[in-house]
Amino acid sequence: MSEAISQGSLGYRGNAFAAELPLMFIAPALFAANLIVARWAQGAGIAPVFLAFGRWALAFLILLPTVGPRMYALRHTLLANWPRILLLASLGMGVAVAPQYVGARHTSAANIGIIFAACPALVTLIETLVWRVPLERKQAGGMLLAIFGVLIVLSKGNPAALGQLEFGRGDLWVVLAGCGWSLYTVFNKRVPLLPLPSTVKLASLIGGGALVLAPFAALETLHGNVPDFGDSRLYIALGFLAVVPSLGAYFCFDRLVSLAGPTRASMSLYLIPLFATLAAWPLLKEAPHLYHVAGFAVILGGVALSSMRRRA
């Protein structure tokens, strides 16, 4: 990825809204791929923390040949930024990912969807309480509308079904991941790094994520959860996760936060169930139903409403 991609292809040189709206759809589509492949990896018996560490380590190695020289040239700026880099990497690449992979072994996709659907509300709460950011009516209305759409999907169109969902050990891991993602979203805007090219910033965060997760992956291995390096599925999962959710999704979401702010950017998370369901149809043989169509229509309406800027 280059500055031409980050600014030209994503519409950065046009008005901000023209760049923001496409990213509201692109970022969650790439994040949804993470859920599909991670669940597929569970069937391959891939250790969850190693999977999280491996995706970041491989993504960093992919970036290193092109970004490495720029990182070396900016080494003094990176060293000055290291506490912030470590904070963001720990939250967005560590806490938001590894616990999610662990929790996916013990809970359902519906529960994961409900928990992560609460992330935008948590982002809004943090922004409002800590930074005193006013909540516009369109943002509040869009958030509530999107939550309603998510509940339609998760309840399969039957509100009584929501009362049958139970939260257990896996859900607590996913709650931890959701909190990590919410904090990453807020701090990415409110505790910004010193000026860095976007690709250098992304590479430093990815490298930081691998560094943070490395000791936990080693501890997981010492406890007997050793990856099967003879299984080709391990390399397929790591390769896909390194390129699509790691490089693509985080790059797009970082751009979206810079354009729309953390509260509106987090609204794009409501689209993840849409893209996950569409991908699961051909890949996991899970066909969508009428309640999916109804719920996704409401979700799209909520995201569109929250993306509208107040007219002067």
Q: What would the pLDDT profile of 242-263 be if each residue is shown by its tens digit? A: 999 888 888 888 888 888 887 7
> Is position 5 within any domain?
no
Inform me whether the pLDDT recorded for 14 exceeds 80.
no
Query: Domain count of the chain?
Result: 1
> Is position 11 within any domain?
no
pLDDT for position 211: 96
Q: What would the pLDDT profile of 144-200 be if each residue is shown by its tens digit? A: 887 787 778 767 777 777 676 656 677 789 889 989 988 998 998 888 787 888 889
> Is position 30 within any domain?
yes
pLDDT-derived band at 311 (thresholds 50, 70, 90) equals very low
pLDDT for position 6: 40
Asked if residues 59 and 246 have their Cβ atoms less than 8 Å apart, the reply is: yes
* Higher-pLDDT residue of 18, 237: 237
Chain center to CA of 191: 18
Give 211's contacts (C-beta < 8 A, 6+ positions apart): 89
> Is position 2 within any domain?
no
> Is position 280 within any domain?
yes
> Is position 8 within any domain?
no
Give 214's contacts (C-beta < 8 A, 6+ positions apart): 53, 57
Average pLDDT in the chain: 82
> Is position 125 within any domain?
yes
pLDDT for position 88: 95
The model's pTM is 0.78
> Is position 1 within any domain?
no
179 lies in which domain range? Answer: 16-307
Instruction: Provide, rounded to the nearest whole percent, the portion of the chain with pLDDT above 70.
Output: 86
Q: Provide the 10 A C-beta neighbour count for residue 20.
A: 23
